[in-house]
């Protein structure tokens, strides 16, 4: 019987359960320095997009590792547990994917506005 690795299962519960990965990057951003074009809001939006994208990559890696582990699993009880974990990962992936699309659209709009304002100066 194979044992779950700390990275493949333990981390499933470290992130998620309502945590927003963008909050990891939600430190107070400094006001734009003179000469910088991006506002603090745009910088925050870009940080949120990067945080959510990193979380999606993390979930994809966890799904991949769990699927490999499931393929090698001989214990039906542990296999059932892995299936539940995979269902949780899949649900999180779907939820975060939808949120990322919305956030990307908002960030693109902020970039468009920023560039347009810069062009008018």
**For 93-117, what is the mean pLDDT?**
86
Average pLDDT over residues 59-74: 94
State the pLDDT at residue 121: 64
Looking at every residue in the chain, the average pLDDT score rounds to: 77
**16: nearest Cα among 79, 96, 83:** 96
Contact of 49 with 25, CB cutoff 8 Å:
no
Asked if residues 82 and 70 have their Cβ atoms less than 8 Å apart, the reply is yes
Q: How many whole angstroms separate alpha carbon 102 and alpha carbon 35? A: 29
Q: How many helices (H) and strands (E) does the chain have?
A: 3, 0
Share of the chain above pLDDT 70, in %: 70
Average pLDDT over residues 62-71: 94
Q: Which residues of 100-121 are buried (b: 16+ CB within 10 A; e: fewer)?
A: beebeeebeebeeeeeeeeeee
Of the listed ranges 15-19, 33-37, 60-64, the least confidently predicted one is 15-19
What value does the mean pLDDT take over residues 6-27?
A: 46
Do residues 15 and 21 make contact, with C-beta atoms less than 8 angstroms apart? yes
How many residues can be counted in the chain?
A: 121
Of residues 98 and 3, which shows the higher confidence score? 98
Lowest mean pLDDT among 33-37, 46-50, 64-68: 33-37
Residue 96, pLDDT score: 82
């Amino acid at each position: 019987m194979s044992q779950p690795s700390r990275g493949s299962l333990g981390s499933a519960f470290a992130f998620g359960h309502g945590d927003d990965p963008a909050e990891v990057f939600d430190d107070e951003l400094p006001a734009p320095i003179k000469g910088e074009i991006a506002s603090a809001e745009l910088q925050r939006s870009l940080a949120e997009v990067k945080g959510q994208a990193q979380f999606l990559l993390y979930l994809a890696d966890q799904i991949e590792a769990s699927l490999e582990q499931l393929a090698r699993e001989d214990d039906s009880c542990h296999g059932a547990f892995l299936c539940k974990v995979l269902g949780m990962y899949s649900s999180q992936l779907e939820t975060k994917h939808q949120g990322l699309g919305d956030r990307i659209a908002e960030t693109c709009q902020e970039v468009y506005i920023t560039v347009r304002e810069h062009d008018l100066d």
